[in-house]
Structure 1
Amino acid sequence: MDIKKKQNIEKQHISIFLMMMTLHKIVYLLLCICIYYTNASPPIEQVMDKLIKIISEEQVLKPAEYKFPQWEKKLGLYRSEVRLNFFGEPVQAELRKNKYINVFDNNMFATGWIASVLLETNMYGRAPKTIDNEHLSLAVDAIETFHDHNQNESSVPLMTFWSQTYNQTTNAWESTPDNLRDLIADLDDNLERLEDILKVLGIKNIAQLIDRIRSTSEGLKNAFEIPPDFDDTYLNIGLGVQLKLLQDKYPSLYFRWLQTNSNMKKIIDLTLRYSYRPSSPYLDQNTIDPRTYFWMRDFIRDNPQAIIVTTWAQNITEVRTAAQKCIRMPFNLNNVDVTVGANVVYGITSAIMYDLLDFKDYFNQDMQTLYLSTASLIAWSIKNSMKNRPDLAQVYYPSHYNFLWYGSRTLFILELARHQQKVVPDVFNRVYSLLSDTYRSDVVKFFQDNVRSDKSSYDDFLGVNDTNIFGKSEPTGEDRIFSTAQTVNILIASFTYLDGNTGKLKWITDGPQIDTIKIMVNNSISWLLDNIFKYQPFNCFFSGSVKGFNQLPFWYPANFYQYLNGTTLDPDHFDTKTQSLVDSIVGVSGYIDETSYERMISEKHFNISTPTTFNGYNSPGAEFPFWSSQPYTHSVTLLALAQYNNLDK
C-alpha cells in the first residue's frame, strides 16, 4: 500500500473518530438537557394556573343534604373538614390522614379566608385572575348566612363560625355544626353500618376509632352551642374592605355586602362590651378563663389598664340565661386567643385606613386602648414564646405559622400607609413600632431556629411524630406545604411594601438583613415549586380549646367558682366523677399577686394538680379533633407564589 493511500485511510479513521466524539457529546448534551428539564421546577405561572383550578373545584356548586354517609354541603362554601389528630405508627397515622375519615364542615372561617386570600393574591401579587365574579358572589352569599340573627338591630356585622337555625321552643337562633350534630345524633343507629364501611375501605383499628369518635362526640356536644365570635366578625370586616377596594373588578358585591353589614357603631360597641378589662370593678369585664390568666398574667401585671379583645360575644350575665337557650361560651366563660386578636387588629386597621363607612368615627379612646393593648399582647406573646404555653395562648388556633401571618398582615398595610403618607391615628404608629420590631427580629429568628435541615421548608405538628412499623421516626409533613407557604407570606408582608407607581412589591430597605430574607424566601419558593403536589395539603386552622385532659380549665388556679344559677361552687368538696361541671363558671377575677398565685399553682384544683408544662400537640392519649381545609392551603401557597412573582428583585 502506497504512502498516500495509507494517509487517506488514516484521515478517514480520524474523521470517523471525531464524528463519533461529536455525536457522543451531542447525545450527552441532549441527555443532560432532558435530565435538567425532568428535574427542574415547573414554571411558576404553570403552578399558579393549576392551583387556581384546584381551588375552584373545591367550592360547593351543587348543595347536598345530610344522609349518612353523604354530608350536607352548602352552596358557595369551600371544602373544610374535621379530622382527629392521631399520630404514631402507620395504623394510627392512617386514622388522621385517610381521605375517608373526616367530616365535611360548613363553617364561615375557611371560606372567608379562602375568598380573602384569592382577592389578596391579585391585589399584591402577579398572577392570573384567581376568582371570577360568579364564584366570588357565591362565596359572599354563603358568608352572609353566618350573621348572628339574635341581634335586635339591623345590619350588624356580628358573625358566627357555624350558621344558625331557629329554635321555636327557646325563641332563639342556635349555632351548630350540622354534619357533626347529625352524625352524633345518629351514631348509635349507624354504628354497624359505619363499621361495615370502614372494613370495606380497609381501615384498621376500627374499634379504637369508634371509641375515640364516641368520647370526642360527648366532649363536643357542649361546644356546639357557641355564641358569635370576634374572629369571624373581623374577618368579615376585612373582606368588606377588600370588596370596597376592588369595586372596579367586582362592581356589585360591595354594595350587596353593605346591605347586611353597615352598622359599624354597633359592632364597635359589642367589641368593647365583651372585652377583657382586668382592672375593672365589674365581673363581666374582669373575669377570664383560668387558662388565659395562667399564660398571660405577667402581661396583665405590667398592663393593668389594658383592654383586650376576647373570643366570644357573650359575658357572664348573659350566659346565665342564654345557656338555657343553647347559646353558651365553652365552659361558660370568655378567653383570650392571640390569633383572634391578630384578626381583630387587622380588621380595625384596614377599616380605618380605607374608610369603611363610618367605622373610624367610633374609634374612641377605649377602642384605641383595645387596639394598642391587643397589639401589644401579640408582640409580647411572640417575644416571650407564648410563655411556653401555645396550647393556651392559641387556644382555638394551634397553627403558629397561621397566627404569625395574621399578625404580619397588619404590619404590611401599616408599612404601606407610611409610604403612601396616609394620615392615620397616632396609635397606629405605636402599633407599627411594636410589630415592625417583633416581626423583623423575633419572628425571623423563629424561622431560622425552626427551618428543617434542607434550609427551605417548615413543619408545624401534623405528622411530625409519625413512625414506621419498626418505631423509627418517619415524619409525613402534612402541614409542610401550608407552613412553608405561610413563612414566605410572613416574610414578604414584614419586609416589603406595594409601590403605587409600579405595582411591584419592593423591599423596605437594602442591607445584610434583607439579603438574608431574600435567601430564605428564594429557598422556600424553590422548595414549594418542587414539592407543592408531593405532600398532603393539610393544615390545622381551628380546633376545640381542649387538646387532652391537661387543657381543661378547671385544673388551673382560679378565684371565682359559681354555678350558672349564682350559687357558690366549692372545688375542694366536689367529686368530678359523680358531679358535673357543665353548668359551672370557674375563672379568675381581677389580678392575683404572683406570690399568692405561685402558691395556688402548687395546690390541687378539683383534686387535680395544675398542668404547668405543655408537651406538644402530639401527646399520647390526647388526640383531638382539628379543622383542616385543603383549598386554604392551596390559596396561601398561591399567594406566596404570586407575591414572589411580583417582587422587584
Structure 2
Amino acid sequence: MKIKILKYILTHMTMYFIIKQCVWLYNSQIRMPFKEQMELLSNYLSENRYKESKPFQIFPFQFNQEKGLYASYVILNIMDKRNSYIDHLVRTQIGIDDNNYFVTNCVLLNLLDCVNLGTYEFNENELEETIDTLLEFKDKNRGNIPSATFYKQIFVKETNTWSQYGTNLLKVSDFTKLFPDILRKFLNYIGLSFINLLQRLSTILHLPTDSDDGSQNQVLGIQLMTSPKIKQSIKDKWLSKNYKFKEYFDLLKRYSYYPLDKSNSSSSMIDPRSYFAFHEYLEKLPQMNITQFGLFTTWLLNIEDQVEGVVQIPFNVNLIDLTVMNNIIFSLNQLIIYGNQTMIDQVFDDTLTMLYLNSTSFLAAQAYSGVIDKHIDISNPYYPSRYIFYLQASKNLYLLNSNFDKLNENAKEVAKIYSKMLKTNGTQFILNTAQVRYNGDLYWEDFLGIYANKSYHEDATFTTVLSLSTLINTWTTAKLDKKGNVRLYFDPKTPKNVTDTIEKGMKTVTKFGFFQNSNLNPFYSITLKTYTSQFYYPMNVHRYLNGTQFNPHIGNQDLVNQIVAVDGIIDSDEYDQLLKQKWFSHNTQEDFTGFNVPRQQFALWSSDSITISFGMSLLSKYHCIDRSSLNQSN
C-alpha cells in the first residue's frame, strides 16, 4: 500500500514538473505586448530598488543598503580549465552588495529616455527619494561644483578632507584580514587568489572624483531640468548643489592629458598601459607640427594635488578609457544642445574645444585602427566590453542627429565623426557578432561564462539589448510627429541587413521569457584583470612618491607607494626596444588573450537594474519607430 502511494505521488510530481516546463517553454516563445512587458520590467526594477536603508553587520549578516539606490553587486569573474558549473555558480550567485552612484544614475537616465518618449512615468515620491540619496554623493571637497563620487565620503579630521568609503567592500576586506593562513592558502589553491587583493583594498580604495561620474551627473541634471514631466522641487534640489558648471569644466581641463606639455608637471604623464594601447597614434604627434594636444582622462586629480591615503589616484597615475571619453563628450553635447548661449560661451574656451574635438577624433581612430578589438582590456580599462563602447558612442550620435538644428559647427563635426565610425565599424561589429539559437532566436553575448567551447549565456540578455540599442541609435533620429508625439525615423540609407537584424533581434527581446534569463552584465570592472592588464609595459617614470628612483625591470610593483608612467612621447624606435625588455620581472605580452583565463580572476560590477533599464529604453525606442520609414528604408 505504501509503495503504491509513493508511486502515485512520484508520478504526479513528475507530471507536474513536465507540464510546468512545457508551459514555461511555450510561454517563453510568446511575444509580449509592449505595455505588458514594460509593466513587467517596471515591477522588476522596483523590486531591485532599496526601500529602506540598512547598516552593515556581521551577525546576523547583512550588507549596507542605501534607501533609494538600485541594487548592484561586485562579483568575481572566475574561470577554471573546464569552465565548470561550480565556477558558473560563483560568478552568478556570489556577490557583494555595492552602494555606488554610477548604477542608479545610469538607471535614471535610461528611465528618462522612456519618459521623454512617453512610455513611462516616474513615481515622483520615489524619484525624489532617489535624487536625495544621489545628492549625498556630491564631492564635498569641491563645494557646489557638479561633480559626483563613486562612493559616499567620510570626513578625515587629520587632513580636513573628505574621503570615499565603499562600506561593504571595505568591511568585507577588513573581515578577510582575520582569515587564518591555512584558509588563505586553501582559497589560493582552489583558484580564489583575488582574496589577496581584497585584503589590500583599504590601502588602495581612496578614490578621487572621476570625470565619468561627473559627466553622468551633469547629464542627469540637464535631463531633469529640461523634462516638463519632472516636478520643480526635484529640479530645484539638484540645482541647489550643482550650479558651478564652469568650475567643473575648469577641473576637466586641468586634469586632462597633454603629452606635448613641457611644464614639468604630471599633465604630460599617463599610465604605461594606456600609452602602450595608443602609442602608434601618440608617436605621430611630434610630426604634426601642432603646439597643443590634449585628451580627456578618467581622474579629476593629479599627483601634485592628491592627499596620500585619503584622496589618491589608483596607482598614482591617470589613465585613458575610451568609454569614459565617450561619456564626457556626451555631457558636452548635452550642454551644447540644452544650455544657454552665455553658459556655452563661458565653458567652451579654446582649450575645452580642443579637448572636445581631439578626444572625439582620437576614439574614432582607435576603432578604425583595431585597437578596441585587439586590446579592449587596456583601451577601456574600466569598461571591459566593446558592446558598451559602441552603445555609449551611439548615444552621442542619436542625441546629435535628433537635435541637429541646435548644433554649432564644432558639434556638427563631432556628429560627422561619430556617424562615420558607427555606420561602418560599429554597425559591422554588431552584425558580425550576431548569433542564432536552435529555435531561430537572434542574440549576442560577450565574455561572461564562455570558455572551453562552452557557454552559460550569462550576459546574453544584456549584450543583446546593447547591440540592438546601438543599431537603433545609429540609424534613427527622434522627431516630433504632427500630433506632437516623439517618433523615431530611419535614415533613408539604412541598409536592409540592419533593419532585418533589428526586427529579428526584437522578436527575441519581446518574448515572454527573455528577461527571465540571466541579467548579469560586465558593465564595469577593476583595471587589473588578466596578465595583459598589469603594469608590464615600457615606462620612463619609475619613482616612489617621495621622489626616490627605483629599477622597474626587476622585483614586484608597489601599487600604493610607487609612480610608474610614461612622460611625454617616446620615439617609436626607442619604444620598440623598450618592448623587448622586462618590466617588474615580466615580459610585455603584446597580444590580448581574453578575459577568461584560468586562475586569473578579477572583480567586476554587475546590476540586473542596468540590464532591465536598458531593456526598457530599447523597447520604448523600438515601439516609437515610424513604420513607414522602416518600409521606405527597406
- 1:248 shift after superposition: 3.9
Counterpart for residue 176 of structure 2: 187
Q: Name the residue aligned to 1:137.
A: 128
What's 1:591 paired with? Answer: 569
Q: Check whether the contact 1:308–1:373 (CA below 8 A) recurs between aligned residues.
A: yes
Please name the residue that 2:16 is paired with: none
Verify: 1:560 aligned to 2:544, yes or no: no
Q: CA deviation at 1:477?
A: 1.1
Cα displacement (A) at 1:176: 2.3
Output one character per residue of 1:221-276: Cα deviation in whole Å (capped at 9) or x when no partner. 44311110000000000001110111443322112111111001110110000000
Are residue 477 (structure 1) and residue 469 (structure 2) matched?
no
Work out the CA distance in 1 between the residues paired with 2:26 and 2:526.
47
Q: Which residue of 2 aligns with 1:164?
A: 153
Matched AA of 1:548: T
**Cα pair 1:507 1:514 within 8 Å, conserved:** no
The offset of 1:628, in angstroms, is 0.3
CA contact (8 A) 1:277 1:285 kept: yes
* 1:488 shift after superposition: 1.6
* 1:111 to 2:104 alignment: yes
Check if 1:318 corresponds to 2:305: yes
Q: Which residue is equivalent to 1:489? A: 469
Query: Residue 210 of structure 2 corresponds to which residue in structure 1?
Result: 229
Shift in Å at residue 534 of structure 1?
4.0
1:29 maps to none
Mapped to 1, the partners of 2:153 and 2:25 lie a distance apart of 56
Alpha-carbon distance, 1:76 to partner: 1.0
Give the aligned residue type for 1:79.
A
TM-score by length of 1: 0.86
- Are 2:243 and 1:251 aligned? no
- Partner letter of residue 445 of structure 2? D
Distance 1:208 1:261 in 2: 49
CA displacement 1:488-542 (0-9 Å, x = unmatched): 211111111111234343334324x342221111111111122423421011111
Q: More deviation in 220-229 or 290-299? A: 220-229
Contact 1:481 1:633 survives alignment (8 Å) = yes
Equivalent in 320, 326, 350 of residue 334 of structure 2 = 350
Please, which moves more after superposition, 248-257 or 73-82?
248-257
- Paired residues, number: 583
Q: Which runs of 5+ in 1 are unaligned?
A: 1-33, 196-204, 468-472
Amino acid at match of 2:526: G
1:127 to 119, 143, 147: 119
Distance 1:221 1:491 in 2: 42
1:62-461 equivalence runs, <5 A: 62-68=52-58, 69-87=61-79, 88-98=83-93, 101-124=94-117, 127-129=119-121, 131-151=122-142, 154-189=143-178, 211-212=192-193, 214-282=195-263, 283-303=265-285, 305-319=292-306, 322-323=307-308, 325-355=309-339, 358-386=343-371, 388-418=374-404, 421-422=405-406, 424-454=407-437, 456-461=442-447
Q: 1:586: Cα distance to partner?
A: 0.8
Structure 1 window deviating more from structure 2 (606-615 vs 64-73): it is 606-615
Instruction: Check whether the contact 2:187–2:195 (CA below 8 A) recurs between aligned residues.
Output: no
Aligned partners of 2:25 and 2:595: how far apart in 1? 41
Structure 1: distance between partners of 2:276 and 2:516: 40
The C-alpha deviation readout for 1:430-456, integer Å capped at 9, x for no partner, is 111110001111111101211113472
Q: Which runs of 5+ in 2 are unaligned?
A: 1-23, 287-291, 628-634
Partner secondary structure for residue 427 of structure 2: helix
The 1:354–1:209 alpha-carbon spacing in structure 2 relative to 1, beyond 3 Å, is farther
CA distance in 1, matches of 2:197, 2:446: 23
46-55 or 89-98: bigger deviation: 89-98
Question: 2:50 — aligned with what?
Answer: 60
- Aligned partners of 1:36 and 1:620: how far apart in 2? 38
Distance 1:191 1:240, change over 3 A: farther
- Say what the alpha-carbon RMSD is for the aligned residues: 2.3
Preserved CA contact (<8 Å) 1:300 1:306 = no
The 1:412/1:191 distance shift into structure 2, 3 A limit, reads farther
1:463 and 1:83 mapped to 2: Cα distance?
Answer: 13
Between the aligned partners of 1:476 and 1:245, the Cα distance in structure 2 is: 42
1:602 and 1:532, CA in 2 relative to 1: closer, same or farther beyond 3 A? same
Contact 1:49 1:128 in 2 (8 A): no
Q: Secondary structure at the match of 1:278?
A: coil
Partner of 2:18: none
Q: Secondary structure at the match of 1:446?
A: helix
Residues 173 and 510 (structure 1 numbering): CA distance in 2 closer, same or farther, change over 3 Å?
same
Q: How far off its partner does 1:206 sit?
A: 7.1
Inter-partner Cα distance in structure 2 for 1:121 and 1:165: 35
SS at match of 2:481: coil
* CA displacement, residues 535-572 of structure 1 (integer Å, 9 cap, x when unaligned): 2101111111100343222x110111111112222224
The 3 A distance-change label for structure 1 pair 168 and 529 is same
Q: What amino acid does structure 1 have at the position aligned with 2:424?
A: S
SS in structure 2 of the partner of residue 358 of structure 1: helix
